[in-house]
Amino acid sequence: MPNVKRPFTVKGRPFYPIGGQTRNSSGYNDQEWATALRALELMHGNTLEIPVYWEQVEPEEGVYRFDHLEQLLTDAISHDIHLILLWFGTWKNGNMEYVPDWVKTAPERFKRAISPTGHQLWVLSSHCEATFEADRRAFTALCEFLKEADSDRQQVIAIQIENEPGILGSDRDYGPEAQAKLESDVPREVFEGLQVLESGPLHALWQAAGGATSGPWYEVFGDGAGEMMTAWSIARYIDRLAEAGKEIYELPMYLNVWLGETGWQIPGESYPSGGAVTKVLDLVKWATPHVDLVAPDIYLSDSRSYEAICAAYARDDNPLFIPESAPGSSNPVRMFQAIGDYDAVGYAFFAIEHIVDEAGEVRLSLLPLVDSFRCIAAAVPLLLEYQGTGQIYTVAQETDLGLQIYDFEGYTGLVDFGGTYGRDWRHLGPSLEPDANPGPGRGLIVQVSTHEFYLVGANYRLHLRPKAAPSEQLQAARVNERLLTRLAHYVRVDEGHFEGEGAFVVDRRRNGDETDNGIWVEADVGVVHVLMSDILSPLKGGGSHRELSRLWFDSNAN
């Protein structure tokens, strides 16, 4: 994406949320909440995602309570962190577990989705206006509270509306209201969108059904009509909530997705039918003009599937945000791919408490994950400035991958993974500790100008070589064998960090042995700033052997 849209801001300035999501009950249990705060501190994160339950906010109809949320805001201020609130309302993971008791026990008023056999499911129907109005009243009460309690400080940066909405147990709602919708004409907005689609799963489904330009859902989408109608209905329901909430308090609002690319990929069985899975994403975007983005919860670990999901949701009209991911062994690399290759505007993983051991420190098995989050946290100013420019390059070591090559402006780059040679004794890293795993090589390389780079990550080193014709490269190599290892020269290599308005502060200068074998990167060095010398630039003009010798001697005389 050439222009990255950033929905998250704090007091008018772009904000990059990096952190985790608490387990569903942790925010309202003092000990678990304290563990979540400690986990965020260990990760160097800046944002916690935490649920707000409808049943807790409105235990009696029309009676609202926000005392728990008041305490969360107080703690967020004292810890200098931000919050994303997850509204567990009508839907939570394809069912109705978090609605109030007075909703659960009144199915005649708050109608349930009906299965193909006529049974009531433990899912509220999106076609019931009484349910929508009840959810709307509670949600807008939440927005009113936030406007009064937090509009000045802005600790809360966004609200997720519902959680992985949809229907588990059926491909659609078979109740009379839903059936009437299925048999009614497809809305005009859908046809307007279909007319400009040129490809994609929704376009293919429409064409397979005959490409009709009018008619009911089952004529326009054939066998997929039930899921398409359900997706439209749920998306419109959520958009109406967003519209009502934003009329009170203008916050970014998004919906998240239980992915459809799992198991048998059967709607209602493998994932909640009506959720914003990839095949209905176009439809959902047309239905939700008041929703800022649709965010996939990615628990996939293989690179092909992971990148396919990132590519599907990273669109010009939908910046990629990943609110949930798995704290598994693959996540450290995948996060860098989402951020570097797909311009993800924020990243979190689920069950943040799991990284903390009994002593209050990072579990060794999750150290690679935590290290990766620390690296991203250190690089936030670079992400805000250079995402979308094509100047960020991802380092991602897949299984059995030993080297990666890069085509930079003016330089060819070669990354190799692992190894301790040339590293400073202060930064030998966890690879030498018997119980720790440094994880795969991973990180980001940012080329801010022809001769200037920033590097973050772990377990890799970068070698740079000025671009020239092959014969000229060989001529340079013959000047001295040392040029085979020191293929380019540095003005400086500094370890440091960003402060304030994004100014880079040098913590330590590297030189000598520590720069002879490439620019090594480990999680504990923060950000590495590299300024290259153009001492070999005459190669591009065909410098003589004598000139090359003099240049090399002059550059190494001291």
pLDDT, tens digit, for every residue of 374-407? 999 999 999 999 999 999 999 999 888 889 999 9
Which of 137-146, 456-465, 496-505 reaches the highest mean pLDDT? 137-146
Instruction: Report the pLDDT value the prediction gives residue 3, as an integer from 0 to 100.
Output: 80
Weakest-pLDDT range from 18-22, 44-48, 143-147, 470-474 = 470-474
Q: Report residue 44 as tokens.
A: 């160097």
* Rounded-to-integer distance, Cα 127 and Cα 511, Å: 67
CA-to-CA distance for 377 and 382, rounded, in angstroms? 10
For residue 481, give every residue at least 6 positions away whose Cβ sits within 8 Å of its Cβ, in sequence order, or none.
none
pLDDT in tens, 116-125: 999 999 999 9
Confidence of residue 331 (pLDDT cuts 50, 70, 90): confident
512 CB neighbour count, 10 Å cutoff: 8
Q: Is 543's pLDDT higher than 50?
A: no
Q: What is the mean pLDDT of residues 17-27?
A: 88
Q: What confidence score (pLDDT) does residue 487 get?
A: 67
For position 538, what pLDDT does the model report? 41
Strand partners, 412: 407, 465
Query: pTM of the prediction?
Result: 0.92
Rounded CA gap, 153 and 73, in Å? 10
Would you place residue 484 in the very low, low, confident or very high pLDDT band (cuts 50, 70, 90)? very low
Cα–Cα dist 261/309, whole Å: 9
CA 73 – CA 154 distance, rounded (Å)? 10
Residues 6+ apart with CB under 8 A from 470: none
What is the C-alpha end-to-end distance of the chain, expressed in Å?
Answer: 46
pLDDT at 540 over 50: no
pLDDT band, very low/low/confident/very high, at 557 (cuts 50, 70, 90): very low
Q: Specify the pLDDT at position 184.
A: 97
Residue ranges, comma separated, of all CATH 2.60.220 domains in the chain are 396-556
DSSP string, 282-331: HHHHHH-TT--EEEEEB---SHHHHHHHHHHH-BTTB---B--B--STTH
How far lies 307's CA from each of 106, 266, 296, 323, in Å?
44, 22, 12, 16
Q: Chain-wide mean pLDDT for the chain?
A: 90
Distance of CA 165 to the CA centre of its chain: 19
**CA-based nearest residue to 234, from 127, 364, 87:** 127
CATH fold group of domain 396-556: Chondroitinase Ac; Chain A, domain 3 (2.60.220)
What stretch(es) of the chain map to CATH 3.20.20.80?
A: 9-176+228-386
Q: What percent of the chain has pLDDT over 70?
A: 89
Two structure tokens written together for 221: 């989408």
Percent of the chain with pLDDT over 90: 79
| pLDDT computed for residue 257 by the predictor | 98
In one-letter notation, the amino acid at residue 367 is L
pLDDT at 277 over 90: yes
Among residues 255, 8, 57, the alpha carbon closest in space to that of 155 is found at 8
pLDDT tops 90 at residue 363:
yes
The pLDDT score that the predictor gives to residue 430 is: 52
Q: Is the pLDDT of residue 468 over 50?
A: yes
Highest mean pLDDT among 24-38, 471-485, 527-541 belongs to 24-38
User: Span 9-176+228-386: which CATH code?
Assistant: 3.20.20.80
- Provide the Cα torsion 237, 219, 205, 233; round to 10°: 0
Tokens of 8: 């998250």
**pLDDT at residue 556 is higher than 50:** no
Residue 83 in this model has a pLDDT that exceeds 90: yes
